[in-house]
Amino acid sequence: MAEKETKNNKTNGDKVTISKEEYDHLLVKSKEADDLQDKFLRAHAEFENAKKRLEKDKIDYLRFANDSFLLEFLPILDSLEIAEKHIKEAKDFKAVQEGVDMIQLQIQKFLKDIGVERVKTVGEKFDPHMHEAVETEEVKDRDDGLILQELKPGYRVNGRLLRPASVKISKKK
């Protein structure tokens, strides 16, 4: 076999001879590599655990996010139950109507507080992004595409359309 000499290192088959200084340097580098590998594995495990924890937190948040919503809605439900009792015993229809009107206002305030607003309709120009035309009516005195009647209200939540309003629109004769 041919022997190669490079500086102070000698190679003979599968054996390599190096100086004590180079050997010590390689031991230090090997230890550093092992430490970095260990740090990487720990950081990776920590990252995976954080991902799992965040996913669990997200699921818990979604599961319990409605609690405050429901707590605000319960007084409205209570008012409806009271109104139902009074309707069964009612002799004064006007008082029942006033009670139902108060509940309607309670619901509207609740919806407004959580960012829900009703889509404007009657008298507005038809907007296919906000309205759904389900009927048309031929009219002489109005322009095409004006909303004549709201058949079902539409709602937006924080500016995003939740449900379009179903409307009757004008069509010029």
Q: Which of 24-33, 67-76, 131-140 has the highest mean pLDDT?
A: 24-33
Question: Is residue 96 pLDDT above 60, yes or no?
Answer: yes
Does 163 reside within a domain?
Answer: yes
Does 18 reside within a domain?
Answer: yes
pLDDT tens, 23-61? 999 999 999 999 999 999 999 999 999 999 999 999 888
Does 136 reside within a domain?
Answer: yes
- Of residues 90 and 146, the one with the higher pLDDT is 146
Domain extent for 145: 116-173
Does 78 reside within a domain?
Answer: no
Q: Determine the pLDDT at residue 4.
A: 43
DSSP the chain: ---EEETTEEEETTEEE--HHHHHHHHHHHHHHHHHHHHHHHHHHHHHHHHHHHHHHHHHHHHHTHHHHHHHHHHHHHHHHHHHHHHHH-S-HHHHHHHHHHHHHHHHHHHHHTTEEEPP-TTSBP-TTTEEEEEEEEESSS-TTBEEEEEE--EEETTEEEEPEEEEEEEE-
Number of domains composing the chain: 2
Name the domain boundary from 40, 62, 84: 62
Question: Is residue 67 pLDDT above 70, yes or no?
Answer: yes
Q: Give the pLDDT band (50/70/90) at residue 165.
A: very high
